[in-house]
Structure 1
C-alpha cells in the first residue's frame, strides 16, 4: 500500500488582502510625520516666546520711546538713538558697581564652589561617621529658615555689616547644589579607585585634589555657572547689609538709578508738559538700556559654558 502526497492549498482568510495589510504601516508613517510636525511647531513657538522678549528689549533700548509707546517697534528699531546707553555709561556709579559686582562674583563663586565640593565629597564617603545626621541637618535648612530679622542679627553680631563678607558668606552653601555634588561623587568616583590610590600611598587630601577634582570638571563647571549667575544678579543682600554707596553691586546701582529717574519724572509739575515728557523719555531709555547692560555679560559668557552645564546636570542628577 503506497501513500500518496495530497497537495494542500492554504488560502488567506477572507476579507484580507495585501494592500489592506499595509495600511497600519502607512498610518504609522503618517502618525510619525504628524508628531514630528507638531513637536517642531511647539519647539519653534517656545523658542520665539523666549527669544523675542530679549530681542524686543534690545531694539527698544535704541529706539525712540514715543515709537515704542505707539507700537511701532516690534520687529525693527525706530528712531535709533544711543542716548540711554550714553547716559548710563557716563555715570561713574555704573563703573563702580560693575567693579564691585565682579569682585563679589569672583570671590563668592570661589568660596561657594570650594565649600560645596569639599562638603559634598565628605558626605559621599560611606566611611564618614555621622554623615547621615549631618546631611539631615543640611536638608532641614531647605524647609526651615530663621527669617530676615534673624539673618540680619547674625550678620550684625558677627561684625560683617557693610563689608564684602555680608554679601558673599550668608548664602555660600546651597543645599540643593550640595546634594547634586554629593550624588555626582557617589555615582562617578568608584570606591575601588580610592582603594588603589591608598595602596599607592596617597592620602585622602591627595586623592581628592589630584584624582577626584580632575574627574569632576563637568560638575565644577556646573557649580561655577550656577553661582556666577546667582552672584551677578544678586542685590537683596547688598540692599539689606550695605549702607555705603561705594560698595553697592551693579544691580543695586541700576535699581537706584531707575528709581531716581521715575521719581524725577513723576515729580515734574503738571503745568510743565515739555519737562515731564522729556523726563519720561529719559526714564524709558534708561530702563531698557539698564536691562541690556546688566544682562549682556552673562548672555555672552553662558553659551560657552552650556555644554559643561548640560553634562554636569545629567551626571549630577539623582539616579
Structure 2
C-alpha cells in the first residue's frame, strides 16, 4: 500500500518521538554504567558520560566483595522468586472458581474482592495487623501481605472465562476433579497471561523497598533496594557498606550498586516481555 503524504509525515513524526523517548530512557542507564566503570577523575568530570574513557573496576570490586550487599541481594532474590510463585498459585486458585458460572453467589464474591481495590485500612492499622501476626523482622513480611493482587487476579479470572467449558466437561467425564483440571488443563493453556502476571509480580517485588523500611528492623534482613535507598537517596552512612579508598570516589560506588541492583531484573525482563501484550489483551476481553 502506498502511503499518502500526510501518513508519511505522521510516520516520521512517530519515529522522531519514539527515538527521543528511547534516548531519554537509555541515557541515564548508560550514564550510571559509565561512572561505575570509570576512574575517580573521569567519574567527577562534568558533562555527558556515554562510555568510560578510562576504565576502572575498583568500584565493582568493592561492591562485589561486600557481604552486606550479597546478603541483601539474597533476600531480594528470595522474596522475588518465592513471592512470585506463591502469588501465581494463590491467584490461580482464586480466579478459577470465580470464572465458573456454576459457583453460587459468584457475583457477590467478585464484588467484595473488587471493593478492596478502592478501600484500604491505612498505614497504622496495617502495621498493627502485621505486628499482631508476628511478621515484624520476618522475611515473610515481604511476601504474605501482598500475596494476591486484585487487579492481576481479575485479569486471570477473565482469561479463565475464555477457556471453553467443553474441555472441563470432558475432563470431568474422565474422572478429573477441579484441582486436576486447574493444574493439568487450565494452567497450561494460560501460559501467556501467567507469564505476564509473573513479570508484574517479579518487578514489584524486586523494586519494593517501602515494606522493608516499615517492618524490618534487622539490618541483616533488609532488601537490596532499601540498602540502595539509604546509600543513594537518603545518603545515610552504613557501617556494613564499603568505605571508598583514595582510588575511589563515592559516586563510583553508588553507581556500581545501582547497576548491581538493576541488572538482574533487566536480564529477566526480555524472556517474559514477549508474553506481555498477548497476555494482557486476551485477559481483558471478558468482564
* TM-score, normalization by structure 2: 0.88
Matched, 1:140 2:145: no
- What is the CA-CA distance between 1:278 and the residue it aligns to? 6.4
C-alpha distance 282-261 of structure 1, shift in aligned 2 (>3 A): farther
Matched, 1:186 2:161: yes
Give unpaired runs (5+ residues) of structure 1.
Answer: 1-24, 265-275
Q: How many residues align?
A: 281
- What is the CA-CA distance between 1:120 and the residue it aligns to? 0.9
Task: Give CA-to-partner distance per residue, 1:115-157, whole Å, 9 cap, x none.
Answer: 1111111111111112211111211111111111111111111
- What is the CA-CA distance between 1:69 and the residue it aligns to? 4.9
User: Which of 213, 217, 228 is equivalent to 1:239?
Assistant: 213
Instruction: Name 2:63's counterpart in structure 1.
Output: 88
- What is the CA-CA distance between 1:204 and the residue it aligns to? 1.6
User: Which of 162, 169, 181 is equivalent to 1:195?
Assistant: 169
Alpha carbons 1:117, 1:181 under 8 Å: kept? yes
Alpha carbons 2:95, 2:154 under 8 Å: kept? yes
Instruction: Name 2:224's counterpart in structure 1.
Output: 250
Largest Rg, 1 or 2: 1
Secondary structure of residue in 1 paired with 2:275: helix
**Structure with greater helix percent:** 1
- What is the CA-CA distance between 1:196 and the residue it aligns to? 2.2
Secondary structure of residue in 2 paired with 1:77: coil
User: What is the rounded CA distance, in whole Å, between the counterparts of 1:127 and 1:51 in structure 2?
Assistant: 50
Instruction: Name 1:12's counterpart in structure 2.
Output: none
Secondary structure of residue in 2 paired with 1:172: coil
Secondary structure of residue in 2 paired with 1:63: coil
User: What is the rounded CA distance, in whole Å, between the counterparts of 2:60 and 2:135 in structure 1?
Assistant: 35
User: What is the rounded CA distance, in whole Å, between the counterparts of 2:145 and 2:217 in structure 1?
Assistant: 17
Task: Give CA-to-partner distance per residue, 1:254-274, whole Å, 9 cap, x none.
Answer: 33344796559xxxxxxxxxx
User: Which of 268, 271, 275 is equivalent to 1:301?
Assistant: 268
Matched, 1:127 2:94: no
Alpha carbons 1:258, 1:283 under 8 Å: kept? no
Which stretch of the first structure deviates more once superposed, 87-96 or 36-45?
36-45
C-alpha distance 260-32 of structure 1, shift in aligned 2 (>3 A): closer
User: What is the rounded CA distance, in whole Å, between the counterparts of 2:224 and 2:264 in structure 1?
Assistant: 12
User: What is the rounded CA distance, in whole Å, between the counterparts of 1:74 and 1:238 in structure 2?
Assistant: 33
- What is the CA-CA distance between 1:42 and the residue it aligns to? 1.9
Secondary structure of residue in 2 paired with 1:104: helix
Matched, 1:288 2:255: yes
- What is the CA-CA distance between 1:192 and the residue it aligns to? 2.2
Secondary structure of residue in 2 paired with 1:142: coil
Task: Give CA-to-partner distance per residue, 1:225-257, whole Å, 9 cap, x none.
Answer: 111111111221122112212212222233334
Matched, 1:114 2:89: yes
Secondary structure of residue in 1 paired with 2:16: helix
* TM-score, normalization by structure 1: 0.80
User: What is the rounded CA distance, in whole Å, between the counterparts of 1:230 and 1:262 in structure 2?
Assistant: 24
- What is the CA-CA distance between 1:307 and the residue it aligns to? 0.9
Instruction: Name 1:46's counterpart in structure 2.
Output: 21
Give unpaired runs (5+ residues) of structure 2.
Answer: 239-243
- What is the CA-CA distance between 1:77 and the residue it aligns to? 2.1
Alpha carbons 1:60, 1:73 under 8 Å: kept? no
- What is the CA-CA distance between 1:168 and the residue it aligns to? 0.7
C-alpha distance 318-155 of structure 1, shift in aligned 2 (>3 A): same
- What is the CA-CA distance between 1:287 and the residue it aligns to? 1.9
Alpha carbons 2:213, 2:226 under 8 Å: kept? yes
Matched, 1:229 2:196: no
